Each structure stands twice: as C-alpha cells, then as structure tokens.
Amino acid sequence: MNPTLPTPGDDELALTAQLSALLRAEIAAQGPIAFSRFMERCLYAPALGYYSAGRTKFGAAGDFVTAPELGVLFAQCMADALTPCLRELGSEADFCELGGGSGAFAEVAMRALAEANALPRRYRILEPSADLRERQHERLRSALPAKLFARIEWLERPPEQAWRGVVFANEVIDALPATRFAIHDGEVFEEHVTVDAAGEFVRCDRPADALVAGAVRHVERDLGLRFAEGYRSEILAQLPYWMQAVLGSLEAGIALFVDYGYPRDEYYRAERDDGTLVCHYRHRAHADALFLPGLQDITAFVDFTGLAEAGNQAGFAVAGYATQAQFLIANGLAQHFEQASADADDIGRYRLAQEVKRLTLPGEMGEKFQAMVLARNISPAALPDGLAVINQARRL
C-alpha cells in the first residue's frame, strides 16, 4: 500500500482483490504480461476495471476533473468550433463523441448546437463502459428536453457504415493502453508486469516484438537520434490501427482531439527518461501504475506528432494544432464568459472566472492540453473559426 495515498474502503479493497487475482492467474498461465495488457485490464476489465466498475470517476467526488466538469464554457466553445462543419454537411451530419465521461459535455454541447441552429441528425456517444453508458443516459434524459434527448444514441463500437459529420474526443488518447519501452545495450525492450515471490506485481523488461521495435525505431529516425542506454518511455504502436477503426468510416468531416501531450521532439526529450505515465486516485497524481489495480486511472501523455501520423494514415489531413487556451479563445471563450457572467450573481461570476483560469492558464490546462483538428473532404469554411491564425502544426 502506498502510504502517501488515501486508504481505500472495504468495497474498493474487495474489487481490487478480484481484479488482482485475475491478473495473477493470467501471469501464472502465460508468464509476464505486457504493461499495455496490464493497463488495459486495470482500466477496462468487465465489471472490475476502472472505467467498467461502478465507482465515481469524474468531478470532486471522483479521482480527477476534466474540462467539461468545470462548467459550461469548454463545451460551448467546442460546439462553436464544430458548428461550421455541421452546417456545411447539413441534414446528414452526425456528431460522435468518443468516451462520454459523465455526460457533462453532451449536455452543454447539445444545448449550444440547438441555439446555433446546428443540431446534428444524431448525437452518438461511443462508450465501451456499460456503467458509464447508464450514467450518461440517466443524466441526459433528465437534463435535456425530450426533443434533444431523442437525437442521442450510444455505440459500443465505431460506426462501420460510411457517415459524415464530426468526431470529438476529450482525454481519450491518453487512456489508450500504452506500451512502455526501454533501451538496453542498444536494443528495444518492452516493459512487462509479473509477480514476485511475495505475490506483488513488479515490472520486468523483455525483448520487444517487431511492431513495438519498429515503432520505436521510427521515432528515432524521425527525431534523428538514438535513445540513450536505459531510456524509458511510452509509445502507442497500435495507434494507426485504432485511428483507422475509429475514423475510417468518416467519409467527410473533422475530428477534434483535445488531450494533454507534446509534439514528438518535446515528448521524447532526453531528460524525460522515465516517460510520462501518470495515475490519479482521489485527486492525487502519482506514478505507481501497479497500485491497487482497478481503483485508479492510468494515463500517458500524447505524442501529438504520432497522432497526426495516424490521422494521415487514416486519410485525414492535419487542419490545425494549438494549445487548448489558444483554441478556446479563438472559438468564443470571451463571449461565452461575458454572456454567462451577465446572468450570474457574484458567486457565479467568481466560479466562471476560476473556470477560465483552469482552462487557459499555462500552469493549469491552458498549455499542457493541446487541440488537434483532422479533416477530410470538407471546405476551408467548415473548419473552426480562427484556426488558420493560431495553427502551430509546424511544431509537429
């Protein structure tokens, strides 16, 4: 048990004991498992993983706060950014949100799109977690007018039929199971998880397979360097396949990704030699991914250059890349703040000011979070307002 973190309750301990037993059984049957597999099971194992079990994840009562949980401003700005594309595509346009969280984003976005006369034909939430789907359904059914709620549907897998519209993903890529790699004697190794004599989970390195080794060598070639002995970091070797699965059927539209991360040359700095892995448990951030499986969020920062490459391979062009602060300001943050402040009391205006600070200040979400727009078969007029001015795609 990590003495610096809060002590879990009996129900939590029972849940993590069940998941830990499953992981130990898998390791006993087949030997050490890749860290990416360990992370996938910790986050998504049916009924036991972090996103699959019934615990509260988001907001003050959970483990972390996402931008949509802070208030209405984030979702209003993102709705503004996506409105031109929805209007250009017209009555056939669908909206697909990847990972709906608590439903807070969909609630505000649907209202904002209705006010802008840019409602999609369907608002689809791609949510693999049955628990989160149920929570989102309950929230949106009670919060939205019936005519708006009727447009919402839930998906367990990406659309297979060709469609047109927009994809929105906030803090999704960071939650994909990440491969951890290390360099030993000039060769690429992959981090695995096994069990020691005391039954505790421990890490070990094994020679990487061709997919992981090839992905690491590609990064080295792109950066014009060789990783130093002992260098350790994360890579999403499977990202191009994931991107094709998620975006492959989108024949015309844009995909907007918002997440914390860096361009590749910043992501793989020499001094960042133990990667970017971060875990969240009851609003404490730490780096012990083996702590209490199933009870904490496990994430890795995003290599936005890798995200751009995966988008290109799926047939999309990078239409824009900027910090979250730049993107929100370019898409109406000041106007939405002024409008909301005019209708608020002193306490409400204070909360709105705090929300703006969290969303935009460099020490908060403003620069740590980045926004990337991928586009296919749409006109420049369908892109978010002001994107050309703030575009920093050259950094990729």
Exposure on the CB side of residue 8, measured as CA atoms within 13 A: 20
**Which phi and psi angles does 265 have, rounded to 5°?**
-70, -25
Specify burial of residue 374 (Cβ count, 10 A radius: 0-12, 13-18, 19+).
buried
68-99 confidence digits (pLDDT tens):
999 999 999 999 999 999 999 999 999 999 99
pTM (predicted TM-score): 0.94
Structure tokens at 174: 């960071």
Proportion of the chain above pLDDT 70, given as a percent: 96
**Which amino acid, residue 5?**
L
pLDDT at 357: 95
Residue whose C-alpha is closest to residue 144's, from 132, 135, 152: 152
Query: Alpha-carbon distance 239 to 80, whole Å?
Result: 28
Residue 53 pLDDT grade (very low, low, confident, very high; cuts 50, 70, 90): confident
pLDDT at 12: 87
Residues with Cβ within 8 Å of residue 63, at least 6 apart in sequence: 57, 280, 281, 282, 283, 296, 297
Mean pLDDT estimate for the chain? 93
Residues with Cβ within 8 Å of residue 204, at least 6 apart in sequence: 32, 191, 192, 193, 194
CA angle at 114 for the pair 108 and 116, rounded to the nearest 5°: 105
Query: Alpha-carbon distance 217 to 185, whole Å?
Result: 14
Query: Alpha-carbon distance 254 to 84, whole Å?
Result: 10
pLDDT at 57: 52
147-205 confidence digits (pLDDT tens):
999 999 999 999 999 999 999 999 999 999 999 999 999 999 999 999 999 999 999 99
Q: Are 232 and 177 in contact (CB under 8 A)?
A: no
**Which amino acid, residue 353?**
A
Per-residue pLDDT at 276 exceeds 80? yes
Proportion of the chain above pLDDT 90, given as a percent: 85
Per-residue pLDDT at 10 exceeds 90? no
Specify burial of residue 247 (Cβ count, 10 A radius: 0-12, 13-18, 19+).
buried
Q: Are 255 and 167 in contact (CB under 8 A)?
A: yes
Helix ranges (H only) for the chain are: 10-30, 35-44, 67-70, 73-89, 104-115, 130-143, 146-149, 210-223, 239-247, 264-267, 304-313, 324-330, 333-342, 346-360, 387-390
**Which phi and psi angles does 338 have, rounded to 5°?**
-65, -40
331-353 confidence digits (pLDDT tens):
999 999 999 999 899 999 999 99
Instruction: Check the CA dihedral 378-379-385-388 and report its sign.
Output: positive
What average pLDDT score do residues 243-252 get? 97
pLDDT at 1: 54
**Which phi and psi angles does 372 have, rounded to 5°?**
-130, 135
Q: Are 238 and 226 in contact (CB under 8 A)?
A: no
CB atoms within 10 A of CB 251: 13
Where do the domains of the chain lie, and which CATH numbers do they carry?
67-175+241-264+302-395 (3.40.50.12710)
Exposure on the CB side of residue 291, measured as CA atoms within 13 A: 23
Residue whose C-alpha is closest to residue 285's, from 273, 272, 304, 299: 299
In the DSSP assignment, the letter for residue 233 is E
Structure tokens at 340: 């909301």
What average pLDDT score do residues 382-391 get? 93
351-377 confidence digits (pLDDT tens):
999 999 999 999 899 999 999 999 999
Residue 60 pLDDT grade (very low, low, confident, very high; cuts 50, 70, 90): low
pLDDT at 56: 54
pLDDT at 214: 98
105-119, 205-219, 276-290, 351-365: lowest mean pLDDT where?
Answer: 276-290
